[in-house]
Amino acid sequence: MIKKVLSEKDIAKRKLSSDKRKIEQKKKYLAEWDEMFERMKSYKADYGKTTVNKDYLDQKLYRWFRKQKLIYNHPTQKLPKEHLEKLNSINFYFGDGHKEQEEITENKWMALLKDAIDSGEKIYTNHRFRYKGQGLGTFLVGVKQANKKGKKLRARKKITALGFELDAHGREQTVVALRFLGNLENNKEMTKQSFQANFNQKFIEHKKDDVPEGIKQAISDAWFDRFGEERTWTKITRLKSADDFINDFVKDLFKAENPTLIRFFPRFKHSILKRKSMFNAEQRTRLSNAWRECFGADLDWDIEIKRHNPEVTCSYFIKDLENKNKTTSKQKFKQRFKKTIHLKRKAISKETFNKINKAWENRFGEKLNWNIVTSDEDVHDQALKFLDDLLTDENAKKSAYLKRVHRMSKFKNHLSPELIKKVNALWKLRFDEHLIWYPKKKLSEEDRIKLWKKFRYNVKKNPKGKWITGPKTMGKLYTWANRFRNNKYALATVAFNFTEDELKEMKREGFLVDINLAKKAKELNI
C-alpha cells in the first residue's frame, strides 16, 4: 500500500481545521459550564459528596467532574477565578475520591461520638458497644488498631479533641488493671462478690502475667484496705465434700419458710442422687430424717433417674399451656420452649407438633414461631463478642474458635451480610484460610453404602455399570470402596446389604466375595 505524501499546504489546512475544532469545543464547554455546575450542586445534595462514580448514569457530569480535577492539578493550566470560587463554595474535592469518602465516613462517626459524649453515654472501645443502633465501638477499635501501624492518626486527633481518650477505654491488661484499681478505690456501690467475679474474669490464669508488678501490688493493697483480706492471684477452686453437700441441703431445707417438693425434689435428684455413691449410711440417714421432718414422707434413695422421651416432655408442656389456672407468663413459657421443646422438634410426631401450636395459639392468641430460637440482637452480640475475642486473643486456638463459629452457624441467617464479611475477613487474617461456617457431616458406613449403590446405577456417571472405576468419577468414595477389593473380611461386614446378583457382579470385577463369610458376619451382627 502506497502512503500519500502530504504537502505543506495540506498540513497547514489540517492544523487550522484542528485549531478551529478546539476553539469550538472550548466555547461550548464555557457556555455549558454554569449548567453543569448546577447539576453538580444537585448531585452533592443527593449523595453528600462531589466525587462522581465512574459508572454513574449521567456520563456527561462524570466527564465534566474529571475535567475540573485535571485542569486544577495540571502543571500549566489554571481554572478561571470565577469557576474556582464557585467550586470552592460547594467544597469541591480536587483530590482522590476515595479519600473524600473516607473523610465523609469519618465525619459521620465523629458526629455520632460527639452526640454520645454530650448525652453522657458510657462509651466502650470494643465491638460489643453500639450507640443508636450503630457500631461506634467497632469504629473506635478500628482507629486504635490502625494507629499501631501509623495510620488514621488524624482521626485519633479528632477523637481526642472531642474529649475521649482511646487508651482509657481499651482492653490492654495495663489499662484494664488501672480501671479495676480505680473502681476498687472509688466505687463504693460494688459488692465484694462483684469485684471477685470481675477479678476472676480479667486477671486469673494467663492474663495476670501482662499486668505490671507495681499495679498488681497496688490492687492487692487496695483489696486489703477495702475487704481486710489478702488478695491472691491464683485460681481458687473449692471441691465440695460429701458432708458439705448434705449440710448445705439440710440447712436450706430448714431455712425455707414453706419448703415444697416441687422445689427440693429436683435438687435432690440432680445434686444428691447423682452422687449417691459418695454418701455413707450416716449421711444418708441424716438427710432422710430431715426430709421426713419437713414433708412427712420417706426419702427414696433407689429411684432411677430417667430422662423423659420427647413425647412425654411435650405432653407436660401442652398440659401446662392448657391449664388456665397456671399463672406462668408468656416469657417464661418462651424460655421453657427454647430450652426443652424446640430441641426435640425433629423427634416428635406431627400430631404432637400440631397440639403444641394449637395450645399456644389458644393461650396467647398468636402463632408459635419454631424458627427463631434466639433474637437477632443475641446472635448479633455473639458475633461481635467473637470478633472482639479473636481480634485481641494473641494465642487464639483455631479449634476453639471454629466450635464457636459452628454454634453461630445455626442462626447465620439472623446476621447482617456486613457482619459476616467482617468475621470471614478476620478469620482469613488470623489463620490464613477461608472460614467454613458449617461443620462437615461425617458419613456413616450405611451412608457410604447407599452412595456406592447410587453410583453403580447412575447411567450418566457410570454407563458401564461398574462397582469401581476411578477417583475421577467416584471422588472420595473410591478410597473407601477400594479397600473391599482385596480384603474379603472387610467386604463380609457389609456384604449382607447387597443382593446375590450384586455380589456376583463384584466377584466378576475382582472383588474377593465370600458368600458364606458374609452370612456368618450377618449372624454375628458384625
Nearest Cα to 77, choosing from 86, 87, 69? Answer: 69
User: How would you label 402-436 residue by residue, b for 16+ Cβ within 10 Å and e otherwise?
Assistant: beebeebeebeebbeeebeebbeeebeeeeeeebe
Q: Coil, strand, or helix at residue 131?
A: strand
Q: Say what the pLDDT of residue 268 is.
A: 84
Low-confidence residues of the chain, pLDDT below 50?
A: 1-3, 373-377, 524-526
Task: State the DSSP H helix or E strand holding residue 98, giving kind and residue range, or none if neither.
Answer: helix 97-118
Q: Where do the H-state alpha helices sit in 256-373?
A: 261-267, 281-295, 310-322, 330-336, 350-364
Distance CA 470, CA 277 (A): 57
HSE of 163 in the Cβ direction (CA atoms, 13 Å)? 6
Radius of gyration of the chain, Cα coordinates, nearest whole angstrom: 38
Distance CA 32, CA 199 (A): 70
C-beta neighbour count of 130 within 10 angstroms: 16
Distance CA 285, CA 336 (A): 35
pLDDT tens across 293-333, in order? 888 888 888 876 655 677 878 888 888 898 888 788 888 88
pLDDT tens across 156-183, in order? 888 878 877 776 655 667 777 777 888 8
Report residue 462: phi and psi, to 5°.
Answer: -135, 70
Contacts of residue 79, defined as CB under 8 A and 6 or more positions apart, other chains included, come to: 68, 71, 72, 87
| Mean pLDDT taken over the chain | 79
